[in-house]
Amino acid sequence: MSRPSSARDVALVAVYAGVIAALGIVPAISLPGFPVPITLQSLGVVLAGAVLGSRRGFASVVLFLALVALGLPLLAGGRGGLAVFATASVGFLLAWPFAAAVVGWLTERRGAPYQVRWGIPINIAGGIVLMYVGGWAGMVAVGGLTLPAAVAATAIFVPGDLLKMIAAAFIARAVHTAQPQLLPARSLGPVLDPAG
């Protein structure tokens, strides 16, 4: 029984690495004076965690980044190769697998059925808070900005990222409705929580 499960896991990891890559086809928007472009790939990263869970979500993003490092032009704007890991956006890239893992872990803790009302704050925790902390670290270490300058430089992206996190929750709910076995059943414990 473990072999089909392992094969299925590998397939899911590859599919979601492909989803992240496909979202890179959508043109990136570069704002004058901002070192990090607006892309939809962070949506794919969060979806990997929200749909696949912690372990597989992490693996799918690591696979994607490995392909980028090998030179495949999979990042938004057709970028790839080791050079992208020496830019000011490196902190965001390196935070991606951990963001997927955190979103996945928290989603697994909630269990099935997937609920948008929990999915949105979970996505924000991994997809905004964790990614931004990593991004700021990269902008300071590689981009030469101070931390306050890095925070100020990314503030313009927050509204769009909030919309992406909301969209990810609704997409994840649709996927989990179609494939409910992707999440473990929620354990209500001996006492039911009246708040649900």
- CATH number for the domain spanning 117: value is 1.10.1760.20
Give a yes or no: residue 2 inside a domain.
no
For the stretch 55-70, pLDDT in tens is 999 999 999 999 999 9
Give a yes or no: residue 192 inside a domain.
no
For the chain, how far is it from start to end, CA to CA, in angstroms?
34
Give a yes or no: residue 190 inside a domain.
no
pLDDT at 194: 44
29, β-bridge pairs? 38
pLDDT at 2: 40
Contacts of 82 (CB under 8 A, 6+ apart): 69, 71
Give a yes or no: residue 173 inside a domain.
yes
For the stretch 147-166, pLDDT in tens is 999 999 899 889 989 999 99
Q: Average pLDDT for residues 81-100, to the nearest whole number? A: 95
| Owning domain of residue 175 | 8-182
Give a yes or no: residue 155 inside a domain.
yes
Q: What's the total number of domains in the chain?
A: 1
Q: Average pLDDT for residues 72-80, to the nearest whole number? A: 90
The pTM is what? 0.86
Give a yes or no: residue 195 inside a domain.
no
What element of type H or E holds 148? helix 147-154
